[in-house]
Structure 1
């Protein structure tokens, strides 16, 4: 069930994080690290429960949330990428008196589910900042590697934020949700769009799922690929390697370690000192990582 080994402590508080991704996902490994370190630092028990294989399987996440509620934790940390599917289950937690913090996705759902607050970033702003990088580089036509519009709300927000802000033309390489773990399929769809339109001079990956396939496409394009601009939302090992090698122009770092760490701090303060978050949004990013500053990031990892 994507369940990590609990980090146990003497304190009897137990917080569970339930998200839309396996703990093995390159993005979420950092979140889990933050979660577990916070549990150790603050003396609370923390458990991560993600989906088995697929990013954003709302049916399984719904089941995981309800199973977590049944275990009566002292707090829940929940990502909410699909409010239509998940809000009713999250409300069951808050109605039962379990404090909830939304994380990573669902910043606009805090009031709807009676959560304490949200820790993460704004997907629309992520797209806008990505487009701003390309505008500054003078790109004229961008290919956005994304999912079909309507498939995943937060990805739609990233895509629309980019398209609305980019000064040039935008084409979409639409990856079916069922193929988000299939790098070969992502690469094939990306290359098809790039081959059809030789005027595309920039490529933007909508998230960690597509970075490796995007970089393979860059290499396959040879001289054309070297002359283009390449960027992504999310930072993975592949992204930092590409930045160091000068094969990528930027990556937007959600600083997701904080998305694991901060919610544990907030829940611990809530239980131990009755401290309520003063704001409905705790924004963790993004920070723009480039070949010029990537070494500073790697120095602390």
Structure 2
């Protein structure tokens, strides 16, 4: 059976230090901070993608801090230098860790608006956390290429193979070698990731199964994402296909509640925040936060409207 490796008993208080987020069960999750030199205008809490870790936000965090936005990112359980590396902690663990960290950061910055930003798997964690019970301290949600490839949008042979492997060889580790997908046009950045020992190169089948459970939950939460939201998607994304993304966006945009902005980047890939055109996306995010505008500097919102309009009407 595919296993989940959940947190232990909650026998302590959650705490933040300069480089650690200590959870209620005593787990030490590495934490990175990018702080402006003056009082911040806003705060971003960033969640990395699958097999990645908090370093993913280094360049964006440096940019946003220069724009007066304080940034925090942590290694989620099982990733980076967090405990139980390579093991899947379960959806409740990831969503609870996010909710508690938001409260801690809001306590530190009571007057600043808090934004949560998720890339790929991190986006799915945020969607699920907001959709399940909400996070009232959050002013807005930013999703960069959220992981939405749910089982109902996969071909039957893919879901069947995943089930068989997960229930036969859950411990088996697979690499992405030979898959032939392009995650970004920033080749030097991809080479750096290949040399980074904290990037997981071989993934347990049961972790992939757990990620798919998370994508199912996020995909089904489109109608429950009741928060001011900015969604960014690269039209060259070869990791998360267009169909599940567009299906999610159709349901997400069907309600006029809250502020909703969708941005499509014709030159963008899955790693939008680290692609060669990443500064364009950073500028759009900063404008959405600092200026409160839905008219993005790059015009990516207009491009999204052109693509999605035939699907919505």
Q: Give me the TM-score of the superposition, normalised by structure 2.
A: 0.41
Larger fraction in helix: 1
Q: Give me the TM-score of the superposition, normalised by structure 1.
A: 0.42
- Which structure has the bigger radius of gyration? 1
